[in-house]
Structure 1
Amino acid sequence: MHLLSIDDLHVALGGRTVLEGIGLHIERGEIVTLVGPNGSGKSTLLRAIIGAVRPARGRLVRQPGVAIGYVPQRLAIDATLPMTVSRFLNLPRRHSTRTVRQALEQAGVPGLGRQQVTALSGGQFQRILLARALLEKPDLLLLDEATQGLDHRGTADFYRQIESVRRELGCAVLMVSHDLHVVMRASDRVVCLNRHVCCQGTPERVVASPAYRELFGPDTGDALALYRHDHPRQHDRSVGNPIPPAADTSHLEIAP
C-alpha cells in the first residue's frame, strides 16, 4: 500500500475549479516536489492532504496511522508578543524537553529554545517551523514553499537539512517550490502541476518534457545542472525494517 494515494481528485474553491483529476502516489522515503506556475493549485493540494480543504470528488487514502508534519508558506507572529522558541513549540500541546530539543537538532538549530521568536532571522524561523513539524515524528513531511524569502545559500542549506531529516526519520517528503535550480537536485521525483498533473517523473525526464518547457520556457531545462540523485537503503525506525529504494519512476507520465 502506498503511504499516500490520491486518485481523480477534484477541488473547487468559490465555485472555481482549482484541481481536477489529480492522481498521485507517495512512497515512504522518497522526496517528491510539486512545481507549477502561480495559481496552479500546489498549495491547495497540500491543504487537501492535511484536511483543510474538502475535495469535491476523488479519493485520498493514507496508510493507517500515518503521521503528517506540515510547514506552511508563512506564519505571522505579533512582533510585540514575548514568546520563546520552546514556548512556541509547546503550543497548543506540551511536549517533553527532550522531544523539543531533538526536534530543534533535527531542524538544524540546536540551542535556540530560549531565544525570542521575534528575534529570529528569516532562515532561523523557517527552521523553527520545520522543528514544529518534526515534533510528532512524521511519516510524511509537507513543505509549502518553506524557503520563501531565503537567499540562495539559505535555500540550499534548508534543502540539505530536509535530506538529513529524510535519512534520519525515513519519512517521505512532499514539497512545493519555485526554486527550480535547487529543487531538481533535491528531488527523487518531480510533479508538474497546472490544475492537473501535466507530467511527472525523475527530474531529468521532467525538464526534458514538452509540458514542462511549455510552462517554464524552452530554455529552463538547459539552465539546470542536474545530477543523478541516488540514495542508499535507509532504515525505518518505526518498524525496524529497511526501507526499499523509492519506486522506479524513471519513466515519464504525461497527462492527456
Structure 2
Amino acid sequence: MEASNIGVWRGGHWLVRGVDLAIRPREIVTLIGPNGSGKSTTVKALLGILAASEGRVMRRPGLTIGYVPQRLTVDWTMPLTVTRLMTLTGRHGKAAIDAALGEVGIAHLAQAPVQQLSGGEFQRALLARALIRRPALLVLDEPVQGVDFAGEIALYELIHDIRERLGCGILMISHDLHIVMGKTDTVVCLNGHVCCSGTPQAVTESPAYRKLFGAQAAAALAIYRHHHDHVHLEDGTVVQDHHHHHHHHPQDKAGDAE
C-alpha cells in the first residue's frame, strides 16, 4: 500500500498534510509522533475510513486488511465472551476462532468474559480478531496500551512473530519510543506532516526528531537495547532471550518503570 502526499482537511484546518508512506509485504512500519500529530487520522485515510482531501492512496485490489483500532466501542455492561467478540465483525466458525486465539496465545480464554481480561489479554483478543481474516496488511493503532512493561515486550515479540509467520505488512502506531524501535524496518515521525522517516537508527539521530522529542529521545534507544536480549517476567525473573548471556544487575529493574 502506498500513500502519496495525502492531506486531511477538516473543520477549517489541516489535520495532517503532505504524508508519503509505503508499506510492503513483510515490512513493519511504525508511525510515531506527539498526541494530535495526525497519526490516527493518517491511518484512517490510508484505510479509506476517512477520505483524504488531497493526495492519493494506492491499495492493491483485493488487499485484505486486519485493523485493530485504538478504541473499541464495546458495551461493557453486556456479557460478552472472547469468542463472541470474534464474531462481532464477521461470521467465523469455531475452528477458525480457536485457531486465531491459539495464534496469539489465548486459546484457553475462548469462553472468558471480555470484562475479565487483563490489558494484554484484551489486546491479544483484538489482534486475533484482526488475524482471523488472514490479512495481507495488519494495521495496529497503539497495540500495547493498557499493558505493563513486560506485557509490552511480549506483545511486540508476538507482532514480530506474526509478521514472520504470515508474511504480512504491518503498520503500527505508537507513542512509545523506546520499545518500538526494536524490529521496525521504517519509522515515520509525524507532527502534522512527516518530520522525518527512515530506519529507527536514522530517525533517532535526526535533528527534527530530537527537536520534537527532546534529549530523552536520544537516550530512548539505549533503553530498548538493554531489553533486547532478555525479558523480565511479571514476577521479576529474567529470562534470557535468543541465547544471549547478559550479566544482570539488580538496579536494572528500576529502569523498567520508565
- TM normalised by structure 2 equals 0.83
* Residues 116-137 of structure 1: per-residue CA shift (max 9 Å, x gap): 1111111111111111111111
* Residues 57-81 of structure 1: per-residue CA shift (max 9 Å, x gap): 1110111221111111122433321
Q: Cα 1:117–1:57, aligned 2, differ >3 Å: closer, same or farther? A: same
Answer yes or no: is 1:170 the counterpart of 2:170. no
Instruction: Quote the residue 2:217 is aligned against.
Output: 220
Answer yes or no: is 1:156 the counterpart of 2:153. yes
Structure 2, unaligned stretches of length 5 or more?
A: 226-258
Letter in 2 for 1:161: L
Higher helix proportion (structure 1 or 2): 2
* Residues 72-106 of structure 1: per-residue CA shift (max 9 Å, x gap): 11224333211211111112421011211111122
Are 2:3 and 2:56, in contact at CA under 8 Å, matched by a contact in 1?
A: yes
Alpha-carbon distance between aligned partners in 2 of 1:156 and 1:51, rounded to the nearest angstrom: 30
Alpha-carbon distance between aligned partners in 2 of 1:159 and 1:92, rounded to the nearest angstrom: 24
Instruction: Quote the residue 1:19 is aligned against.
Output: 16
Letter in 2 for 1:42: K
Alpha-carbon distance between aligned partners in 2 of 1:227 and 1:85, rounded to the nearest angstrom: 32
Give SS of 1:185's match. coil
Instruction: Quote the residue 1:210 is aligned against.
Output: 207
Letter in 1 for 2:139: L
Deviates more, 1:82-91 or 1:159-168: 82-91
Instruction: Quote the residue 2:229 is aligned against.
Output: none
Instruction: Quote the residue 2:64 is aligned against.
Output: 67
Trace 1:82-97 onto structure 2 (pairs within 5 A). Answer: 82-97=79-94
Q: Cα 1:154–1:44, aligned 2, differ >3 Å: closer, same or farther? A: same
- TM normalised by structure 1 equals 0.84
Alpha-carbon distance between aligned partners in 1 of 2:183 and 2:71, rounded to the nearest angstrom: 22
Q: CA RMSD in A?
A: 1.5
Answer yes or no: is 1:77 the counterpart of 2:61. no
Are 1:107 and 1:161, in contact at CA under 8 Å, matched by a contact in 2?
A: yes
Using the TM superposition, give the Cα deviation of residue 20 of structure 1 relative to its aligned residue in structure 2, in angstroms.
0.9
* Residues 39-68 of structure 1: per-residue CA shift (max 9 Å, x gap): 110011111122211111111011122111
Instruction: Quote the residue 1:139 is aligned against.
Output: 136
Alpha-carbon distance between aligned partners in 2 of 1:227 and 1:157, rounded to the nearest angstrom: 13
Q: Cα 1:203–1:226, aligned 2, differ >3 Å: closer, same or farther? A: farther
Instruction: Quote the residue 1:51 is aligned against.
Output: 48
Are 2:177 and 2:220, in contact at CA under 8 Å, matched by a contact in 1?
A: no
Are 2:29 and 2:185, in contact at CA under 8 Å, matched by a contact in 1?
A: yes
Are 2:119 and 2:145, in contact at CA under 8 Å, matched by a contact in 1?
A: no
Instruction: Quote the residue 2:126 is aligned against.
Output: 129
State the identity %: 51
Trace 1:167-246 onto structure 2 (pairs within 5 A). Answer: 167-225=164-222
* Residues 198-242 of structure 1: per-residue CA shift (max 9 Å, x gap): 1111111110000100100034213422889xxxxxxxxxxxxxx
Q: Cα 1:147–1:10, aligned 2, differ >3 Å: closer, same or farther? A: same
Instruction: Quote the residue 1:249 is aligned against.
Output: none
Are 2:178 and 2:224, in contact at CA under 8 Å, matched by a contact in 1?
A: no
Structure 1 ranges of 4+ moved more than 6 A: none
Are 2:100 and 2:128, in contact at CA under 8 Å, matched by a contact in 1?
A: yes
Give SS of 1:220's match. helix
Letter in 2 for 1:125: F
